[in-house]
Amino acid sequence: MNIAFYAPLKPPDHATPSGDRRMAGLLLAALRAAGHEPHIASRLRSFDGLGDAARQAEIRRAGAAEAAALTARYEAVAEDQRPGAWFTYHLYRKAPDWIGPAVCAALDIPYLVAEASVASKHAHGPWADGEAACAAAIRRAGAVLSLNDDDDDAVLPLLDNPDRLISLKPFLDPAPYIKPRDSARPGGTPCRLLAVAMMRDGDKLASYRALAAALKRLASRDWRLTLVGDGPARGAVEAAFGGFAEGRVGFAGEQSEARLVDSYAQAELFVWPSVNEAYGMALLEAQASGLAVVAGRVRGVPGIVRHGRTGLLVPEGGDFAEALGRLIDDAPLRARLGAAAALAVAADHGLEAAAETLNRALQVACS
C-alpha cells in the first residue's frame, strides 16, 4: 500500500538527532518491511514549545495550505498512485497534526496515528488549540498505535471502538548492535559505564544531574563513565560532573550510528535515571547490544526494560545509587542480564514484530 507518512514534531530526515527522529525513521523501515511503500508527505514542523498563540496560528494556516496542496497533488494522479492511508507519528498538544485529517477527509482514506498523547488538564491554556486538534485527530483515527501505555487511559475514551487502540512495542533493527562482547574484564580495571542522551534543559538535564548525584555516592567504587551526546545544556551537564577526579567521566560528544554501536559494545553497563522518559530508544539500543541497564521505573520504560531480567529499574524517589552500585559490583549478574536483554530485544522489539503489528493496525483502520 502507498502510505503518506508525517511526523509533525520532527521529520525522519531532520538534521538534529533525537529519539523522535529515530523512531520516525524506524516506522518507515517497518512499513517497508511489512511490504508497503511509505513516503514523507510533508516536512512541516508544527511544534511550538513556547505557547505562542501567534506562532500557533501561523503554523495552523501553513498546515491548512499544505493540506490543500497535497490534496490537489494526490487528486491529480491516477487513483492507484494515491496514498491508501495516512500515517502520523507522535501527536501531542505542542505538535498537532493540521494536515493529515484534512487530506484523509478529502481523499476518503483511513487515518492512523502512532504515539498519541492527550490530557484533559491541557484543554485550557497556551496549547488549548493544539490539544483540541489532537483530540479531534484521535477521534478520526481508524487505528491508534500505542508505544507507551501511559497514554492509553486518555486516548481510549476518544475512540469509538477500543479495538482501534493497538499496542506497538518500541522497536529497532537489532542486527547492527550484535557484536562480540568481552563480558569479563580483567581484575583491577574499572567497570565501564555508558549513558547516551541529548544534552538539553528539562528532563534530560534532570536525568544527567540525578546520575551525577548517584555516582558521587559511589565515588569509592571502581568505575569510569562515558557520556555520549551534545546539545545546548552541555555546559550544565559538565558542571554536574565537575566534582569527579580527572579521567573518571569522559564526554564523547554526538556520535554517528556506527560509532555509537561501538560505544555500546565497549561498555559494560548502561545507566540512565530516565526522568519523565517516554520509553527511551537508547535503553533499547543498549539492551540490543547485550548491555544490562539501570534505569528509572517511569512511564513506558518498564515496557522495554524487564526489572530483574534485563536490568534494574528504580521507582521515582528510589535509591538509584544502590541499584547502580549493585551492578557495578556484580559482573556475573551484569553478564546474565545483558545476555537476556539481547535475546528479549531480538524476540519482542525487532522490525519483524513491528511490521506484523503495523499490518494489523492497517487492517483495523481499513475495516
pLDDT in tens, 86-132: 999 999 999 999 999 999 999 999 999 999 989 888 888 999 999 99
Rounded to an integer, what distance in angstroms lies between the CA atom of residue 49 and that of residue 155?
A: 22
Q: What is the pLDDT of residue 181?
A: 66
Domain check: are 180 and 164 in the same one?
no
**Nearest to 175, CA basis, from 34, 27, 345:** 345
Task: Find all residues with CB under 8 Å of 321, minimum gap 6, and list them.
Answer: 213, 214, 215, 217, 218
CA-CA-CA-CA dihedral for 308, 309, 310, 315, to nearest 10:
-30
Question: What are residue 192's phi and psi, to 5 degrees?
Answer: -90, 110
Q: Tell me what the pLDDT averaged over the chain comes to.
A: 92
Comparing 20 with 339, the larger pLDDT belongs to 339
Higher pLDDT, 83 or 318: 83
Helix (H, G, I), strand (E, B) or coil at 307: strand
At 68 the pLDDT is 98
Q: Are residues 186 and 267 in the same domain?
A: yes
In the 3-class helix/strand/coil scheme, how is 9-24 assigned residue by residue? CCCCCCCCCCHHHHHH
User: Span 342-360, mean pLDDT?
Assistant: 92
> Residue 71 has which C-alpha cell?
490534496
User: What gap in Å lies between CA 259 and CA 249, rounded to an integer?
Assistant: 18
What percent of the chain shows pLDDT beyond 70?
98
d(CA 213, CA 275): 14
Do 47 and 119 belong to one domain? yes
pLDDT in tens, 126-150: 999 999 999 999 999 999 999 888 8
Q: Would you put residue 279 in left (φ > 0), alpha (ψ -120 to 50) or beta?
A: alpha
Please give the backbone phi and psi of residue 251, each rounded to the nearest 5 degrees, phi first: -105, 110
Task: Give the three cell numbers for residue 250.
Answer: 569522559
Do 227 and 215 meet the contact criterion of CB atoms below 8 Å apart? Answer: no
The predicted pLDDT at position 187 comes to 58
Let me know whether 195 and 340 are in one domain. Answer: yes
Residue 329: domain span: 175-348
Are residues 113 and 242 located together in one domain of the fold? Answer: no
Residue 186 pLDDT: 57
Query: What's the pLDDT tens digit per position in 11-62?
Result: 999 888 777 888 899 999 999 999 999 999 999 999 999 999 999 999 999 9
Q: Rounded to an integer, what distance in angstroms lies between the CA atom of residue 197 and that of residue 260?
A: 11
339 and 201 together in one domain: yes
What pLDDT is stored for residue 183 in this prediction? 52
- pLDDT for 185 equals 53
Measure the CA–CA gap between 165 and 139, rounded to whole angstroms: 11
What's the confidence (pLDDT) of residue 299? Answer: 85
The answer to whether residues 162 and 181 belong to one domain is: no
289/302 Cα distance (integer angstroms): 18
Q: How far apart are CA 196 and CA 311, in angstroms?
A: 16
User: How far is CA 101 from each of CA 141, 239, 242, 255, 340, rounded to the nearest angstrom?
Assistant: 8, 46, 49, 37, 42
- Residues 267-320 have pLDDT tens digits of 999 999 988 888 788 999 999 999 999 999 988 899 889 999 999 999 988 899
DSSP 3-state of 45 = coil
User: Is the domain of 266 the same as that of 167?
Assistant: no
If asked whether residues 12 and 97 sit together in one domain, one would say yes
Q: Are residues 138 and 189 in the same domain?
A: no
The rounded distance, in Å, linking the Cα atoms of 296 and 274 is 5
| % of the chain at pLDDT higher than 90 | 77
Distance CA 212, CA 210 (A): 5
Q: How many domains does the chain have?
A: 2
Closest alpha carbon to 113 in 152, 79, 81, 82: 152
Length of the chain: 367
Which of these, 34, 106, 26, lies nearest to 66 by C-alpha position? 106
CATH code for the domain in which residue 151 is found:
3.40.50.2000
Residues 158 and 207 in one domain: no
Specify whether 65 is located in the same domain as 91.
yes
